[in-house]
Chains A and B, each alone.
Chain A
């Protein structure tokens, strides 16, 4: 019985919300677009407040955050790779071993040797002497112990001896610029120094590795990912309660709805970014500049997820997948800051540089930010096209839904314009997908990686170039063979232009002059790939639309052709 009163109450509540919304909408009719966005943003805040308002949940959240903060603080020093893996027997005068990797057993020498032989302990420390077995596990323990003991000894020496005696070595590091080498170096005797000298004490200064800074940079991403649970839920909520219908019938554009819903989260994200920058001693405006495109990129992805969802479980799994992929995409390159120029793929690299007080230029800034902003723009555009009732409420297989979505994105202008633009604008996504595929491919034996990468990249490219034309053909927008051919050519052209722009951008960072010379040297070299792109796309689209071959089969044929061409090119055939 109680259940019914509750649900009645909910229905009443829903009606009230609906009426309020309608009232707000009529009020909005007279206002300017900016105001409408603000109204929707305010409505979103109200929704969240109602969800979490009243009862114990806000307290629970605060409590949990405190617990998290405390445990993060406590864990900061103790957790490391290999926690609890080694058993160490200790006898005699040995410094205390406080490291999560080692579990210490106090033994006397004889007992310790027996335990070591029984493989109950991995290594035995007797005073200044370390006894180990010859097998792997014991030797790993010795190596781990070496790293730990080195640090402990430094602490002991540093505290019990005068500074100069304890740390007797100073190394002045200078960087030599190769450019001015020719004349002056030999003659003047003075070296052309690139930077001021950096003086280090080897045992106290580990070589620069960006791990800690990457972790700090990752701190910025976490709240953004967390908040996107609510952003995603916001659309799902509207869908389940059918309130989106009311909203869409009001005189607001889908663009305003999306922007309005995004606004509170964007403000939250920027505020936390600034807060984290203040707390970690970063440069606030710089941190905002670095993470604004990243925030937009994450929002863009979480905008598209709920639009395609069918059930709760779908959404959970897709959101999980997206979170892992984006985190990997952001973290992986940043780990190689300063060892590879390709690290600039990720904006976290810029953050790492910021924390190290190392400068970076505009090109380095644009290299990660431009593709991310482009993807955001594309997702916003797609979102406005897809935010209609028929698409959102339809329960169809996911592949079907994707084709429909692509059709909706492209259908508003002439195919001659939309097809090449589609190929051009999905380039950043293709490029991200290929980076992810590369991570998968590293699991394979070394000899297979190249081949598998060539095949999968060819497949992805063929999908991207042909899917727009196929979607248009399925809705009867493209019929004649001539149209299919012309569109295939335009699609190939758009893709090639995008590909070359991206290449140009990355080459200007990586600055490998001979490579860029080979790629852009002669105009003929651009003509051949253009023809190739056209031919493969035409094969796929004609097979699918005219010969009614299943799309997957058509794609495989196109991919094989593309792969053979790439293979020939790699072997130096052209």
Chain B
């Protein structure tokens, strides 16, 4: 057993000494903060609820025509300020003086169909913001007109809470932080295996009392151990940040199993192709395809992880076991083919 652990120690040591692991952690930190920033930014630009929360109440809409029209009510309900006008010319004067931000013109005698006009400023930034917030009242008005036409629209009274942040955290952020280390582990396995081949050090290494399976196994163990460490750190950090995560033990186990799967398939590629260039290329392709296929098959590790994290009633350790079986099969395949590395 000693040479096996010596190789594990050497691999871990080289990663820590070369400070490459710092780069890997930096990447994850960057992806996490970048995607959160992206989400925050997009919410403040494209989500009408968020716009209304931050300064949307200052938007003033000039309404020309029937003041008793239901649209006026819908716009007020949305939290926008309504300023009534008699004629379009008056409204335009107010618009150019900066008293209102946009003008809505409703023709008189609307019964069941309507053609209204919306006047927006020529600045794209402002006009798209107004279109964002006025969308909901316009849709409500459309539904009102439909009712006038005798068409019943169901499920219009649903409210709920804005769910984008929730969906982002559990279906993007946590899976990404848990699985990115696995992706890195695969790349690392390829590098450490092909490096021995391309630098002609494989024979020397095997002259120690160590089989080829032992050597590859040690490199995989080192890569997986490293990713387990990162995942545990991310889980702790996320919880420190006040994000509730259920079933942490199962999640960690799932992350380790997935790291095992990526490293084993990466090692398989390295054994068959024997050089870094092709192995890395094929590995990244397989990873993309694997992720796509698993999503289609409804046994995706991402979905399982999200469900474990929110504490889904129907998801348990058995869903994790499926991936363990897959890993075992893959590792068996690797044991059978590993001799080809020496040919």
Report A's interface with B, CB cutoff 8 A.
Answer: 2-3, 6-7, 51-52, 57, 60-61, 64-65, 67-68, 71-72, 74-75, 78-79, 81-85, 87, 101, 103, 118-121, 128, 130, 132, 136-137, 139-146, 149-150, 153, 157, 161, 164-178, 181-182, 185-186, 189, 191, 194-195, 201-203, 206-209, 226, 229-230, 233, 236-237, 240, 310-314, 316-318, 320-321, 324-325, 328, 331-332, 335-336, 338-341, 436, 439-440, 442-443
Question: Which residues of chain B have C-beta atoms less than 8 A from A341's C-beta?
Answer: 125
Query: What are the 3 A-B residue pairs with the smallest beta carbon separation, nearest first?
Result: A82-B167, A143-B160, A71-B292
Residue of A60, A82, A142, A325 with most chain B CB atoms under a 10 A cut-off: A82
Determine if A87 and B114 form an interchain contact, defined as CB atoms under 8 angstroms apart: no
Report B's interface with A, CB cutoff 8 A.
Answer: 14-15, 18, 20, 23-24, 26-27, 29-34, 36-38, 40-42, 45-46, 88-89, 92-93, 95-96, 112-122, 124-125, 127-129, 131-132, 135, 138-139, 141-142, 145-146, 148-151, 153-156, 158-164, 166-168, 170-172, 184, 187-188, 190-192, 194-195, 198-200, 203, 273, 275-278, 280-282, 284-286, 288-289, 292-293, 295-296, 300, 302-303, 306-307, 310, 312-314, 342-343
Specify the chain A residue showing the minimal Cβ separation from B304: A84
Question: Which residues of chain B have C-beta atoms less than 8 A from A83's C-beta?
Answer: 171, 295, 300, 302-303, 306
Residue of A85, A153, A177, A206 with most chain B CB atoms under a 10 A cut-off: A85
Determine if B160 and A146 form an interchain contact, defined as CB atoms under 8 angstroms apart: yes
Question: Which residues of chain A have C-beta atoms less than 8 A from B30's C-beta?
Answer: 321, 324-325, 328, 436, 439-440
A-B contact sample (6 more), CB < 8 A, given A60-B282, A128-B154: A71-B293, A84-B171, A146-B158, A233-B277, A321-B26, A439-B37
Chain A interface, DSSP helix/strand/loop, else mixed: helix
Question: Which residues of chain A have C-beta atoms less than 8 A from B200's C-beta?
Answer: 7
Determine if B151 and A165 form an interchain contact, defined as CB atoms under 8 angstroms apart: yes
Min CB distance A358 to B, Å, is 9
Determine if B92 and A336 form an interchain contact, defined as CB atoms under 8 angstroms apart: no
Specify the chain A residue showing the minimal Cβ separation from B147: A168
Cβ-defined partner of B191 (8 Å) among A71, A161, A178, A313: A313
Please report the C-alpha to C-alpha distance between residue A177 and residue B161 in the assembled complex, in whole angstroms. Answer: 38
Determine if A316 and B188 form an interchain contact, defined as CB atoms under 8 angstroms apart: yes
Determine if A316 and B280 form an interchain contact, defined as CB atoms under 8 angstroms apart: yes
Question: Which residues of chain B have C-beta atoms less than 8 A from A6's C-beta?
Answer: 343
Min CB distance A49 to B, Å, is 13
Determine if B293 and A339 form an interchain contact, defined as CB atoms under 8 angstroms apart: no
Determine if B295 and A118 form an interchain contact, defined as CB atoms under 8 angstroms apart: no
Min CB distance B4 to A, Å, is 20
In the complex with contacts A83-B295, A178-B96, A443-B33, A171-B158 CB distance below 8 A: no
Specify the chain A residue showing the minimal Cβ separation from B87: A189
A-B contact pairs, 21 of them (CB 8 A): A68-B292, A71-B295, A81-B172, A84-B300, A84-B307, A136-B161, A145-B158, A146-B155, A153-B153, A165-B112, A168-B113, A168-B148, A171-B118, A175-B119, A237-B277, A311-B191, A317-B20, A320-B24, A321-B23, A338-B125, A443-B37
Cβ-defined partner of A68 (8 Å) among B273, B289, B310, B314: B289
Question: Which residues of chain A have C-beta atoms less than 8 A from B117's C-beta?
Answer: 171-174
In the complex with contacts A67-B289, A140-B160, A313-B14, A208-B149 CB distance below 8 A: no
Min CB distance A394 to B, Å, is 16
Please report the C-alpha to C-alpha distance between residue A282 and residue B307 in the assembled complex, in whole angstroms. Answer: 40
Question: Which residues of chain B have C-beta atoms less than 8 A from A121's C-beta?
Answer: 313
Determine if B29 and A440 form an interchain contact, defined as CB atoms under 8 angstroms apart: yes
Please report the C-alpha to C-alpha distance between residue A209 and residue B164 in the assembled complex, in whole angstroms. Answer: 16
Question: Which residues of chain A have C-beta atoms less than 8 A from B288's C-beta?
Answer: 68
Cβ-defined partner of B278 (8 Å) among A57, A318, A320: A57
Determine if B141 and A311 form an interchain contact, defined as CB atoms under 8 angstroms apart: no
Residue of B172, B292, B343 with most chain A CB atoms under a 10 A cut-off: B292
Determine if A52 and B278 form an interchain contact, defined as CB atoms under 8 angstroms apart: yes
Question: Which residues of chain A have C-beta atoms less than 8 A from B198's C-beta?
Answer: 240
Determine if B120 and A175 form an interchain contact, defined as CB atoms under 8 angstroms apart: yes
Specify the chain A residue showing the minimal Cβ separation from B121: A176
Determine if A143 and B314 form an interchain contact, defined as CB atoms under 8 angstroms apart: no
Determine if B149 and A176 form an interchain contact, defined as CB atoms under 8 angstroms apart: no
Cβ-defined partner of A202 (8 Å) among B135, B150, B300: B135
Question: Which residues of chain B have C-beta atoms less than 8 A from A78's C-beta?
Answer: 295-296
Determine if A206 and B307 form an interchain contact, defined as CB atoms under 8 angstroms apart: no
Determine if B276 and A335 form an interchain contact, defined as CB atoms under 8 angstroms apart: no
Min CB distance A272 to B, Å, is 16
Specify the chain B residue showing the minimal Cβ separation from A84: B303
In the complex with contacts A79-B295, A311-B195, A157-B92 CB distance below 8 A: no
Question: Which residues of chain B have C-beta atoms less than 8 A from A229's C-beta?
Answer: 277, 280-281, 284
Cβ-defined partner of A324 (8 Å) among B27, B89, B162, B273: B27
Determine if A87 and B273 form an interchain contact, defined as CB atoms under 8 angstroms apart: no
Determine if B125 and A339 form an interchain contact, defined as CB atoms under 8 angstroms apart: yes
Min CB distance B272 to A, Å, is 9
Question: Which residues of chain A have C-beta atoms less than 8 A from B125's C-beta?
Answer: 338-341
In the complex with contacts A85-B167, A146-B158, A169-B116 CB distance below 8 A: yes
Cβ-defined partner of A157 (8 Å) among B146, B160, B343: B146
Min CB distance B29 to A, Å, is 7
Determine if A338 and B128 form an interchain contact, defined as CB atoms under 8 angstroms apart: yes
Determine if B135 and A207 form an interchain contact, defined as CB atoms under 8 angstroms apart: yes
Determine if B118 and A172 form an interchain contact, defined as CB atoms under 8 angstroms apart: yes
Please report the C-alpha to C-alpha distance between residue A132 and residue B302 in the assembled complex, in whole angstroms. Answer: 26
Specify the chain A residue showing the minimal Cβ separation from B47: A209
Min CB distance B236 to A, Å, is 16
Determine if A339 and B45 form an interchain contact, defined as CB atoms under 8 angstroms apart: yes
Determine if A442 and B36 form an interchain contact, defined as CB atoms under 8 angstroms apart: yes
Min CB distance A114 to B, Å, is 12
Determine if A75 and B314 form an interchain contact, defined as CB atoms under 8 angstroms apart: no
Specify the chain B residue showing the minimal Cβ separation from A201: B142
Please report the C-alpha to C-alpha distance between residue A188 and residue B306 in the assembled complex, in whole angstroms. Answer: 61
Determine if B151 and A166 form an interchain contact, defined as CB atoms under 8 angstroms apart: yes
Question: Which residues of chain B have C-beta atoms less than 8 A from A325's C-beta?
Answer: 30
Please report the C-alpha to C-alpha distance between residue A477 and residue B342 in the assembled complex, in whole angstroms. Answer: 51
In the complex with contacts A168-B146, A189-B89, A317-B23, A87-B138 CB distance below 8 A: no
Min CB distance A177 to B, Å, is 5
